[in-house]
Amino acid sequence: MTNFIWLAIAFPLVGVVVNGIFGRKLGRAANGWIAVGTVAAAFVVGVLSFLQVPSLPEHAQIVPLWRWITIGDFEVYLSLLVDPLSMLMTLVVTGVGLLIHIYAIGYMDHDKDVARFFTYLNLFIASMLILVLSDNFLGLYVGWELVGACSYLLIGFWFYKDSAADAGKKAFIVNRVGDFGFALGVFLIWTTFGTLQYTNVFEAAGDKPVAVITAITALLFVGAIGKSAQLPLYVWLPDAMEGPTPVSALIHAATMVTAGVYMIARSNVLYALAPQTSTIVAVVGGVTALFAATIALVQFDLKRVMAYSTISQLGYMVMAVGVGAYASGIFHLVTHAFFKALLFMAAGSVMHAAHDVIDMRRLGGLKAKMPITYWTFVVGGLALAGFPLTAGFFSKDEILAKTFEANIWLYAIGVFTALLTAFYTFRAIFMTFHGKPKDAEVYEHIHENKPVMTVPLVILAGLSIFGGLLGLPGGLGLPNWLDGWLEPVFELKNMFVPAEAVHTGVGTEVGLMALSSTLVILGIVAAWWVYLRKPQIAEKTAQSFAAGYKLLANKYYVDEIYDALFVNPARGLGVFFAKVVDMGVIDMVLVDGTAKSVGYFGRVMSRWQTGYIRNYVVSIFVGAIVIGAYFFLR
């Protein structure tokens, strides 16, 4: 079956073609089930191939498709890579994708443009599979750009809403900054190694100067910062919630945003050779985790809470791969895909029932009316908070344990963030589902959703509970299946983690677990106390720490700062600015300003186009004289 792994990409593409061309004629129901069917077929292909991986020689197989391009002696064969990591990602993408597709049938049942929606969604699945299945950096880059384009299309799906169109534009522009770095990184790999094939690059990496590897990894990481929404380029992700909720669940929580983590894990050989970059990666991840969690504390939009929580959790993953715990990062990626997709879809379920009301200050008391949504949301919340024995608990603790070995300060940040996570998650649960209904009119209309939406929730809830079995803590002598599974890919993972700092003892491991479990429970209890027991506390705290509260509520004014720093001067200074500021990097942030200033030149030149033949002829004559003189005098 591994030879036919390309079918996993082909099936969703068939869906794209069918829905894209005949979508409107086929009717709404057909649109959805065609999309679901193709993703299900891709999932089956994925499962069958997955099962064969252990029997492959060296657990990997390159499946050549065709010769793609030739430039001089540089040849790129379009081929796919079947190995433990790519297959695991394929399962996550198609599996979670399948559930979200099913859910989307219910969620989008009132929308007038279902065909277009499922066309984009299938296109996204195909693009994401190109990204994870490619066996070279060029394919990775192509997939990287394609998922970006799909994300842009889907954020702006309701383009007639200004906010959606703006959010789409913002995501596009911010991601361009990252992609620019990524493209440079790929280019540097090419010039350094003369090839883009993973295997060739990784084999030759040891012979290259560390400085070059550091530069490559740093540039690639710039791409990851953009795509995986890390500081300072995370600003697009919260706005991306303007898209339909299934999109938020699939693209902006479960799959696309984890592409950066996947890329670093895939390039682990390079990152292991570049300790400086790895340090930066770890620090950026840790700081992002904390930073985003603090903002999530005070948001009132349920989807935005989840968005900031996604950024924070991505921070954990990035921190993990930064300290060299690649398998742990991937583990958390998988469990996060389960519980965050679940949380988003449950939030969407609320939104669907409440007719697009998503402000938690207008909800409350939904527990009785939407039992399935409520209980699945709680399961997801527990997993997100890292409540003992849920999936999130094992994956997060593995990261924390590995971080503890690497750097105590990062560990401290991680643990504190875990406390915050528990608090904001249950704040959201209590505000939405408990207490008294705050808006009678909204409450009146709320009802549980159809099975097509709730069944995927239940399945994901099961995965959120039991997903942890994939990677039980090896430090306690329990079998860590995932570590073993991914071992062929991460053989070199310990190159940079110093040898002395081998595994912490069982005692330490248990201690760490106990500490984080305590903090998690503490966070949940605190949320209960503040938001259910004594709601006035929340108000009071907000008042007594008005300055801090305002800072958080306004998300550290980052958007405003970026506006003030980049966007507005760009508009104002126009011509001058475009020349001074580095054309490459900031150019993209400055999109508006540059466009205007260049547009100014354009109008000037346009004015030279006078329409008089006389003037044109003079220009030809002068040009002829200049060229003639140049050649005559040579």
Residues that bind other proteins in the complex, under the rule CB under 8 A: 20, 66-72, 116, 141-142, 145, 156, 159-160, 165, 168, 583, 587, 595, 598-599, 601-603, 605-607, 609-624, 627-628, 630-632, 634
Q: Which two tokens stand for residue 289?
A: 């985790």
Distance of alpha carbon 417 from alpha carbon 410, whole angstroms: 10
Task: Name the one residue in this structure whose structure tokens are 């003037």.
Answer: 615
Nearer to other proteins (CB atom), residue 505 or residue 602: 602
Show the beta-strand stretches assigned E in 395-533.
none
CB of 594 to other proteins, least distance (A): 8
Nearer to other proteins (CB atom), residue 7 or residue 452: 7
* The CA-based dihedral angle spanning residues 45, 50, 51, 56, taken in that order and rounded to the nearest 10 degrees: 120
Report, in this order, helix, strand and coil percent for the chain, each rounded to 5: 80, 5, 15
Q: 308 with 292: CB under 8 angstroms?
A: yes
Buried b (16+ CB within 10 A) or exposed e, 117-142: bbbbbbbbbbbbbbbbbbbbbbbbbb
CA 574 vs CA 12, 566, 596, 632: distances in Å = 44, 12, 7, 41
Nearer to other proteins (CB atom), residue 425 or residue 594: 594
Nearer to other proteins (CB atom), residue 536 or residue 631: 631
Phi first, then psi, for residue 135 (nearest 5°) are: -105, 15
Nearer to other proteins (CB atom), residue 537 or residue 598: 598
Nearer to other proteins (CB atom), residue 439 or residue 587: 587
Distance of alpha carbon 302 from alpha carbon 348, whole angstroms: 9
Q: 332 with 313: CB under 8 angstroms?
A: yes
CB of 342 to other proteins, least distance (A): 32
CB of 82 to other proteins, least distance (A): 21
Nearer to other proteins (CB atom), residue 160 or residue 543: 160
CB of 112 to other proteins, least distance (A): 11
Tell me which H or E stretch contains 212: helix 210-227
Which has the closest alpha carbon to 592: 254, 296, 172? 172
Q: Which residues touch 568 (CB under 8 Å, ≥6 apart)?
A: none
CB of 177 to other proteins, least distance (A): 13
Q: 337 with 92: CB under 8 angstroms?
A: yes
Distance of alpha carbon 489 from alpha carbon 264, whole angstroms: 12
CB of 111 to other proteins, least distance (A): 14
Nearer to other proteins (CB atom), residue 125 or residue 295: 125
Nearer to other proteins (CB atom), residue 56 or residue 142: 142
Q: How far is CA 536 from the centre of its chain?
A: 36
Nearer to other proteins (CB atom), residue 176 or residue 362: 176
Nearer to other proteins (CB atom), residue 576 or residue 621: 621
CB of 69 to other proteins, least distance (A): 5
Q: Which two tokens stand for residue 55?
A: 């029997």
Task: Name the one residue in this structure whose structure tokens are 């191939």.
Answer: 49
Which has the closest alpha carbon to 63: 10, 12, 13? 10
Nearer to other proteins (CB atom), residue 536 or residue 609: 609
CB of 34 to other proteins, least distance (A): 17
Nearer to other proteins (CB atom), residue 70 or residue 541: 70
CB of 88 to other proteins, least distance (A): 26
Distance of alpha carbon 200 from alpha carbon 193, whole angstroms: 8
Distance of alpha carbon 140 from alpha carbon 142, whole angstroms: 6
Q: How many CA atoms lie within 13 A of 448 on its CB side?
A: 16
Nearer to other proteins (CB atom), residue 408 or residue 605: 605
DSSP single-letter state for residue 74: E
CB atoms within 10 A of CB 287: 18
Distance of alpha carbon 232 from alpha carbon 228, whole angstroms: 11
CB atoms within 10 A of CB 540: 12
Q: 587 with 594: CB under 8 angstroms?
A: yes
CB of 209 to other proteins, least distance (A): 22
CB of 236 to other proteins, least distance (A): 17
Q: 102 with 452: CB under 8 angstroms?
A: yes
CB of 627 to other proteins, least distance (A): 5
CB of 272 to other proteins, least distance (A): 29
CB of 212 to other proteins, least distance (A): 19
Distance of alpha carbon 274 from alpha carbon 215, whole angstroms: 9
